[in-house]
């Protein structure tokens, strides 16, 4: 058993099905439901508000379908966690399409009625979930470097060479981060939040999608709330939620 439970969001339009699924998940020793929804709109809001570790997502929802939720989150650069698709027998082909198109995000199809052989299904979901979380790319910090070990390559990135990091957009099955250094760009299969935990204090998040290295800041426009970095043409915006902390870092660094 893991010491910290996996935080789950359940999005299902049928009230009785959602209630039963929530109860089954909450009976688990490793899973706990932190939010639930029944529509596209409320589902997107729940995911963005609670940032769950795992999503159980029905195909057909009030106001649309699962495609609309996944596409909206991807378009907004949100780090979507692993997804289980809930489906009835008549929707299996539809579910398979979602699995194929979002193969880096959707990892399991949960057939209804889900309570049949639930413990076996739960065990399979947990096994696949942990495989996704721990066996794709390994990220470690050693001295002044970040070492990323994937199946075929090992990347060694000197931390002080990193200018900024951002959620890698345009990648279906996101959960990827773009790391920009003086000489190269890297796309790795780790979320921005995971990498953030490995970075020293001179790295600060300036909005939901970007973290900068304070050492590379050349100018800050307080009127436009835009940051300029040395030898980088594009300016980066500082979100209102992050502005106070960013200015505090600049004053004390």
* Tens digit of each residue's pLDDT (9 = 90 or more) over 79-102: 688 899 988 756 767 777 887 778
Q: What's the pLDDT band for 168 if we cut at 50, 70, 90? A: confident
- In the chain, the domains with their CATH numbers are 6-135 (3.40.50.2300), 138-252 (2.40.50.1020)
Place of tokens 């790391």: 179
* Tens digit of each residue's pLDDT (9 = 90 or more) over 110-124: 988 888 889 999 999
Q: Which residues neighbour 132 within 8 Å (Cβ) at sequence distance 6 or greater?
A: 82, 107
203 vs 193, more confident: 203
Percent of the chain with pLDDT over 90: 49
Euclidean distance between CA atoms 218 and 195, whole angstroms: 24
For 52-72, what is the mean pLDDT?
92
What is the pLDDT, as a whole number, of residue 172? 43
Would you state the structure tokens that stand for residue 235, as one six-digit string?
A: 């300016």
Euclidean distance between CA atoms 117 and 86, whole angstroms: 15
pTM over 0.75: no
> In the predicted model, is pLDDT for residue 180 greater than 80?
yes
Q: How far is CA 221 from the centre of its chain?
A: 30
> In the predicted model, is pLDDT for residue 205 greater than 90?
yes
Among 177, 175, 171, CA closest to 211: 177
Q: What is the largest CA-CA distance in the chain?
A: 60
């Amino acid at each position: 058993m893991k010491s910290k439970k996996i935080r789950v969001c359940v999005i299902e339009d049928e009230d009785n099905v959602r209630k039963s699924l929530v109860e089954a998940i909450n009976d688990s020793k490793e899973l706990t439901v932190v939010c639930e929804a029944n529509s596209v709109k409320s589902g997107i809001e729940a995911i963005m508000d609670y940032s769950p570790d795992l999503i159980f997502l029905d195909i057909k929802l009030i106001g649309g379908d699962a495609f609309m939720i996944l596409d909206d989150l991807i378009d907004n650069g949100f780090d979507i966690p692993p997804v289980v698709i809930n489906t009835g027998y008549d929707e299996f082909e539809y579910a398979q399409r979602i699995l194929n198109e979002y193969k880096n995000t959707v990892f399991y199809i949960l057939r209804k009625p889900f309570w049949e052989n639930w413990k076996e299904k739960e065990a399979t979901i947990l096994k696949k979930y942990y495989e996704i979380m721990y066996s794709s790319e390994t990220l470690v910090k050693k001295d002044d470097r970040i070492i990323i070990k994937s199946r075929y390559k090992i990347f060694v990135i000197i931390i002080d060479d990193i200018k900024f990091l951002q959620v890698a957009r345009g990648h279906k099955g996101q959960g990827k981060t773009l790391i920009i250094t003086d000489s190269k760009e890297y796309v790795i299969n780790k979320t921005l939040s995971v990498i953030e935990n490995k970075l020293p204090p001179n790295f600060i998040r300036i909005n939901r999608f970007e973290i900068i290295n304070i050492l590379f800041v050349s100018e800050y426009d307080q009127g436009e709330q835009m940051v300029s970095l040395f030898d980088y043409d594009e300016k980066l915006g500082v979100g209102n939620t992050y502005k106070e902390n960013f200015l505090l870092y600049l004053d004390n660094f």
